Amino acid sequence: MSGAVTHTIGIAQVQTASGQVAAIEVDKITPGAAHVGGFSLTGTSFAINSGTAFLQNVRFLLRLEFTLTYWWSLGFISGHGSDNLGTIAIPFNAGDVLVPTLNNISLTIPNIAATNVSASIAPLLNFALGGAGFTNLVADTVTLPSNGFQLGGLGLGPVSIGSLQVPNALVGKVSIANFAPTGNVVVPSVQLNNIQLPSASAADIQSAAPIAINNIVASAQGVSANFGIFGIGIMVTPIINTFIGSLLLNNVRVSGSVAKAEIQNISVPIVISGINLNRITIGAIDVNNITL
């Protein structure tokens, strides 16, 4: 269209005192990958009870390390030393061992902390939030339409309306297919105090691999003899290794508590799909400074 001029409608400000939305429905909220800056637990305690503990195929290996010690003294010269006399290994098999009821095994962990934790959150579906009200809605610097419009065959000079008042308005339904904020939703901190963990129980718990407890060293024992100008001694150091084929805990019950749980800096992107606002009532609309 030759000679057409593009126009826009400028509205300085739109105000409404109050309004009501009869029903708000959201089809789906899809969170992205959540990033947690820090996670901490303070004052964590557990109480563990077990009906019985059954140790299967228990074996021991006892090692006895022998050491010869000696000393001498001739008045003007003296000395001492030691020599390794070797080791004797004594294996023996204890078979299966039944441990009586294990009660009140208490575990206390003062602090647990983790940083840079990532998590996945499943989509949240079909929210019906009921009605809602709003007050003091203000929209500044409105331009209609954003790319302008053209009038052919009609000349229109500058138009200005200082103020326009509308008593109320009714909108039947507003639908938004997708709403995706460009920034992430960030929650600086979430803190929960005095969390009581519910009791949990399991019929049987069995170890998946053999258990080895190695190199338990007992105090060295020995005998010595003093012959005046020299002396000797023989020391024995017991070292025991324990092997357990499997550990079976029967009727285990666990309960616990956490004094404080804190999650810092939760950041998650979201996409909201299928937003429906039904029967919107808007009252006392004021439109100021309309220019064309």
Residue 185: alpha-carbon gap to chain centroid: 17
Residue type at position 164: L
Q: Give the pLDDT score at 198.
A: 78
Above 60 in pLDDT, residue 20?
yes
Above 80 in pLDDT, residue 244?
yes
Share of the chain above pLDDT 90, in %: 14
Give mean pLDDT, residues 254-280.
Answer: 86
Q: Give the pLDDT score at 153.
A: 66
Q: Give the pLDDT score at 61.
A: 93
Above 90 in pLDDT, residue 63?
yes
Question: Pick from 138, 162, 177: which is nearest to 282 by CA?
Answer: 138
- Tens of pLDDT, residue by residue over 114-132, are 888 887 888 888 878 788 8
- Tens of pLDDT, residue by residue over 177-189, are 887 888 888 888 8
Between residues 41 and 164, which one has the greater pLDDT?
Answer: 41
pTM of the model: 0.54
96-99: long-range contacts (C-beta < 8 A, 24 or more apart)?
Answer: 96/54, 96/55, 96/56, 96/57, 96/58, 97/54, 97/55, 97/58, 98/52, 98/53, 98/54, 98/55, 99/52, 99/53, 99/54, 99/55
Q: Give the pLDDT score at 67.
A: 94
The answer to whether the CB of 245 falls within 8 A of the CB of 220 is no
Query: Domain residue spans in the chain?
Result: 8-291
Lowest-pLDDT choice from 68-77, 159-168, 193-202: 159-168
Give mean pLDDT, residues 246-255.
Answer: 84
Token pair, residue 174, equals: 């507003």
Above 60 in pLDDT, residue 107?
yes
Maximum C-alpha span of the chain: 134
Beta strand extents in the chain (DSSP E only): 6-31, 34-73, 78-99, 102-119, 124-150, 160-179, 185-206, 211-217, 221-226, 230-268, 270-291
Mean pLDDT of the chain: 83
Q: Give the pLDDT score at 83.
A: 92
